[in-house]
Amino acid sequence: MANECAEDTTPPGSPRICTSCSATIDRTEWFPVVAVPEEGYRIYAFCDETCRERWQRETDT
């Protein structure tokens, strides 16, 4: 299986928004993501691990 890289389609200078709570994410700092296979991979970004875990619980139901 080949490694696939997801492309960041967020325009340069645009804020990255948390998938769970819509908070602005500081792109210069580490932030958690989830990669979901959807015609390649779709990357969901989160402001912190709590938001990522909440989103994963909500989408698993």
The tens digit of pLDDT for each residue in 37-56 reads 988 888 899 999 999 999 99
Quick check: is 32 in a domain? yes
Q: Which residues contact 51 (CB under 8 A, 6 or more apart)?
A: 18, 19, 20, 21, 23, 32
Tell whether 5 is covered by a domain. Answer: no
Residue 4 lies in a domain: no
pLDDT at 6: 53
Q: How many structural domains are present in the chain? A: 1
Predicted pLDDT at 11? 65
CA–CA gap between residue 25 and residue 51 (Å, rounded): 12
At residue 1, the pLDDT reads: 43
- What is the rounded CA–CA span in Å between residue 28 and residue 39? 28
pLDDT surpassing 50 at residue 13:
yes
